Amino acid sequence: MGGRALIVTLLGIMLLSASVFYSITRSSADLMKNVDQYYSRQSAQNIAQSGANLAIQRLSTDQTWRQGYTLMSMFGGNVTVRLVDTTFKSKQVVKIVSTGFCDYGKSSERRETSTAYVPSGFVPPVVRGSITAFGPLDDTISDMLIDGRNWNYAMTAVTSSSGVFAVSTGAAVFVNTQSAKLGGTTYTTTPATDIVPAFPNDVRVVETNSSWLNGWPTTPDAALGYPNGTLKNIAVNKLTPGSQYVTAYAQLVFPLRGVTYIEVPNGTIWTKQKLGANPEGILVFHSPNHDAYWNNITTTAGPFKGLMVMDNLFHIHMDILGGLALLNPKTISGKCNGNANHYVRYSTETIQKATQSSMQIVDGISWYE
Amino acid sequence: MNSMIDYIGSMITGGAVFAAMLTYFFNVSATAVSQVFSVSTQEDMTSITEILECDLRKAGFGVTDSVAFTIADSNHIAIRADFDNNGTIDTVQYWVGTTQMPESSNPLARILYRQSNGKTVRLTPNAITRFKVWYYNASGAMTTDVRQIRTTRIAMNMECKISYDNQTAGEYWERVIKPQNLR
């Protein structure tokens, strides 16, 4: 073989080698690209999940928050979160759609979506009036202001045409014995009409002979539509912030928050016990025979905001924003006045706020991703 | 005489260089071919794991009886969820065949199947030489009780169905997945 031929041969081999090298380099690049894409997918997924969790956290402190986020920077990517009110499995939920972006706006952009259905707070069907009871309420309301119109949580405004009765009772007759001012919302007109509290009261803000499909609830759980033992479980295990389970007044920790479940022996009477300052949440006062009786209740400051579910209550020397339901059909009667400066005002927002966190325990959050 | 020695010497040297170049060329070519098979296998692995992860993350979505898995075997998993979010609970299963994959000479090679609402598809043309699933309860202990499963760990080995120069491209993937609906 001549020297020239050898050179040509070597050049040929070098050319082929270069081609093979190019192939190897391209394969390596493909391998790395594949790894990059896997990483991007995972990052986008993590960002989407974190965005949803952030929104859930925000919702737990502000139930009305629906603004969401738009392309917020997170973990080297971006997240967009939208919140809408909808129904899921026939229940009211807030649907959180969180989209995580990796390399947003680039050709390598990867996006993943994480959807969470967060149970909304709700108004239990037992709340038919600002004060609801199966027994007579003639004396229980004393001379208070009982307003079934739908107040907001800050108590600065009424949402029109969305309230309830002032009082709802299973008794056949209601007599406003002590000149209480009663107001509420009547659905006998279209649209519903809000009625300002007054005495003598408009008869449309009072419900008598209220009937219940499954009978009057005898337990706090039944009143809220929860499986039996749910509220107690939340309180005992402190599953929502501030929740507590007590069997004696001295065990109560103030301020009341979350689910406060007070379980006492049958026939217990508490007299002139105070609820502390600015109590909130769901307050249960109950005995196995649903005959626990709180005689004369006050707070040390501010109104109670939320839902009170008690076996029996008389002498309400405090303000309530939300609702009150009495489980014992034998409500207390007798003279009780001097409460004209106190109120019970219905508030959907406040009751939803009270039931929101417990709903998440009961139904959990559903994730679709 | 001297020119003859030069000529023979140059032939030997040139031949050796040529042989070395050829050997190098063949080795590099083999590497290039292996790389191509590796890329193909890796892409296949990421594609099917994306499907698998997507299904597993939905486990328990819309399920009201707390049974998010109906089969929890080491090489067979059946996941229950409302996969298409239409209000109906579906079941998706993954399992590997029990017999050797016909196209492969590896006696461990199996076919990976995915079944969704009765329709069965073969997930990859490549061979699965290992598909193993572990199940853990809320406290992190291994369990086979379908009601207690909160976490799954899946490991999978995939081999390219074509071998080159007695070498087969392979990939390994392992992942712990905690479906959010099972928390």
Report ipTM for this prediction.
Answer: 0.82
The CA–CA distances, whole Å, from B12 to A5, A14, A50, B25 equal 15, 20, 69, 20
Answer whether A51's CB lies under 8 Å from A98's CB: yes
- Could A23 and B32 be called an inter-chain contact, meaning their C-beta atoms sit closer than 8 Å? yes
What is the value of pTM for the model shown? 0.72
Same domain, A309 and A237: yes
Residue A68's contacts (CB-CB under 8 Å, 6 or more residues apart) are A55, A80, A81, A82, A83
Angle value at C-alpha A44, between A43 and A47, nearest 5 degrees: 85
Answer whether A222's CB lies under 8 Å from A216's CB: no
* Distance (Å, whole) CA A95 – CA A68: 11
- Could A34 and B22 be called an inter-chain contact, meaning their C-beta atoms sit closer than 8 Å? no
Does B48 have pLDDT greater than 60?
A: yes
Domain termination residue (choose one: A85, A120, A155): A120
What number of C-beta contacts closer than 8 Å exist between A and B? 72
Nearest CB to A27: which of B17, B24, B32? B32
- Please report whether residue A319 resides in a domain: yes
Domain termination residue (choose one: A69, A101, A120): A120
Same domain, A149 and A281: yes
Same domain, A214 and A339: yes
Same domain, A150 and A250: yes
Q: What mean pLDDT do residues B145-166 have?
A: 90
Q: Which residues of B touch A90 (CB under 8 A)?
A: none
Domain termination residue (choose one: A59, A94, A120): A120
Chain A residues whose C-beta sits inside 8 Å of any chain B C-beta: 1, 3, 6, 9-10, 13, 16-17, 20-21, 23-24, 27-28, 30-31, 34-35, 37-38, 41, 49, 89, 116, 364-369
- Please report whether residue A11 resides in a domain: no
Same domain, A61 and A149: no
Predicted pLDDT of residue B2: 74
Mean pLDDT score of chain B? 89
Predicted pLDDT of residue B27: 82
Q: What mean pLDDT do residues A319-332 have?
A: 93
Nearest CB to B43: which of A34, A41, A367? A34
Nearest CB to B50: which of A31, A41, A366? A41
Same domain, A68 and A171: no
- Please report whether residue A158 resides in a domain: yes
| Structural domain count, chain A | 2
Predicted pLDDT of residue A1: 54
Same domain, A73 and A139: no
Same domain, A136 and A79: no
Closest chain B residue by Cα to residue A9: B18
Q: What mean pLDDT do residues A181-202 have?
A: 96
Same domain, A145 and A265: yes
- Please report whether residue A369 resides in a domain: no
Q: What mean pLDDT do residues A212-240 have?
A: 87
Lowest model confidence (mean pLDDT) among A37-41, A190-194, B30-34, B121-125: B30-34
Same domain, A95 and A155: no
Q: What mean pLDDT do residues A329-337 have?
A: 82
- Please report whether residue A17 resides in a domain: no
* Range picked from A8-12, A319-323, B102-106 for highest mean pLDDT: A319-323
Predicted pLDDT of residue A75: 92
Nearest CB to B42: which of A9, A10, A31? A31
CA dihedral A349, A354, A359, A365 (to 10 degrees): 70
Same domain, A138 and A234: yes
- Please report whether residue A32 resides in a domain: yes
- Could B61 and A366 be called an inter-chain contact, meaning their C-beta atoms sit closer than 8 Å? yes
- Please report whether residue A5 resides in a domain: no
Q: What mean pLDDT do residues A72-77 have?
A: 94
Task: Categorize the per-residue pLDDT at A58 as very low, low, confident or very high, splitting at 50, 70 and 90.
Answer: confident
> In terms of residue numbers, what domain contains A346?
129-363
- Please report whether residue A368 resides in a domain: no
Task: Categorize the per-residue pLDDT at B103 as very low, low, confident or very high, splitting at 50, 70 and 90.
Answer: confident
Answer whether A124's CB lies under 8 Å from A132's CB: no
Say which DSSP state A203 is in: G
Does A360 have pLDDT greater than 70?
A: no
Task: Categorize the per-residue pLDDT at A338 as very low, low, confident or very high, splitting at 50, 70 and 90.
Answer: confident
Same domain, A304 and A171: yes
